[in-house]
Structure 1
Amino acid sequence: MWQQRLISLAARPRGFHLISDEIVAALSELRTCRIGLLHLWLRHTSASLSINENADPAVRRDFERFFNRLVPQEAPGYEHNDEGPDDLPAHFKASLLGCQLSLPVADGRLALGAWQGIYLGEHCDQAGVRQVLATLHGEAI
């Protein structure tokens, strides 16, 4: 079985956002997959995808603080600022974290650990809708 769908995620403020439920809700075919892989590809260069803590929202806030210290906005020497002072720092953060995930599927659900969730890292101050291309490959139940 192969399925592919473009998922639009609503615009969000800058920060890290748990999107696991949105991804699963957009993929009804997931329930029919006994074993497989779900590949997620974020079609943007100023946001990111990652897997991390799904229970305590403080982790997502700490992620934002950490990456803002690691890649400060308006640091001297940045040349690229076509879309504002957050533009190049957003590209740096996206490159550090990445834009794709491959997730195991087992018995009709994502086979994530008990405390794992999918994060969208929104690295721009004024971002719009984000698109994720989801490709599911596996064996049907």
Structure 2
Amino acid sequence: MRQALEHLHVGTHRRGLVEITTEVSEFVDRQPIDNGLLTVFCRHTSASLLIQENADPSVRRDLERYFETVAPEDPNRYEHDTEGPDDMPAHLRTALTQVQLAVPLENGRLVLGSWQGIYVFEHRRQPHTRDIVLHLIGQ
């Protein structure tokens, strides 16, 4: 059994989805592991991870608009605003999504569907650098 671990630093420019499939695949390609399981972990409470369609950009725009309605910025709605009015909505959006993904590896390739991509979902308005941990285990 082999393991590999790497930190991926993802720059975000604004609230929204940033595809990281290529970077994650490049990490997998560098490893001497053919079959196993990749864990992708986001070390933040105001950003999350998604596996989502990567063919039609309207899917991403619709997701972003949906989350604006589910957890809107409203200074009268939340107590927590330590880092600004988008702070608590960002935490809620993360709670409704996920900070960890598990993706199987088969014959040296991620087992993603034809239209699936891996995304960091930034929930804050300001640019950030997000630390994404990649851990691959297998043989």
Amino acid in structure 2 at the alignment position of 1:29: R
Gaps of 5+ in 2: none
Residue type of the alignment partner of 2:133 = L
The amino acid across from 1:46 in the alignment is S
Alignment TM-score, normalising by the size of structure 1? 0.92
1:22 matched to 2:16? The reply is no
Do 1:34 and 1:107's aligned partners in 2 also have CA atoms closer than 8 Å? yes
Inter-partner Cα distance in structure 2 for 1:107 and 1:64: 34
The residue that corresponds to 1:6 in the other structure is 7
Partner-residue secondary structure (3-state), 2:30: helix
Instruction: Measure the CA separation in 2 of the matches of 1:69 and 1:119.
Output: 20
Alignment partner, residue 137 of structure 1: 137
Aligned mates of 1:54, 1:21 — CA distance in 2: 12
SS in structure 2 opposite 1:76? coil
Q: How many residues align?
A: 138
1:5 partner letter = E
The answer to whether the 8 Å contact 1:17/1:60 transfers is no
Which residues of 2 match residues 114-125 of structure 1 at below 5 A?
114-125=114-125
Question: Which amino acid is 1:3 matched to?
Answer: A
**2:40 corresponds to which residue?**
40
Moved more, 102-111 or 69-78: 69-78
Q: What code does the residue aligned with 1:15 have?
A: G
Identity of aligned residues (%): 43
Give a deviation string over 1:4-33, Cα, whole Å, max 9, x none: 111111233111122111222244434x32
Tell me the distance in 1 between the aligned counterparts of 2:77 and 2:71: 13
On the 8 A contact 2:11/2:127 being kept in 1, the answer is no
Deviates more, 1:59-68 or 1:3-12: 3-12
Three-state SS of the structure 2 residue aligned to 1:34 is coil
CA RMSD of aligned residues (A): 1.3
Q: Which amino acid aligns with 1:65?
A: R
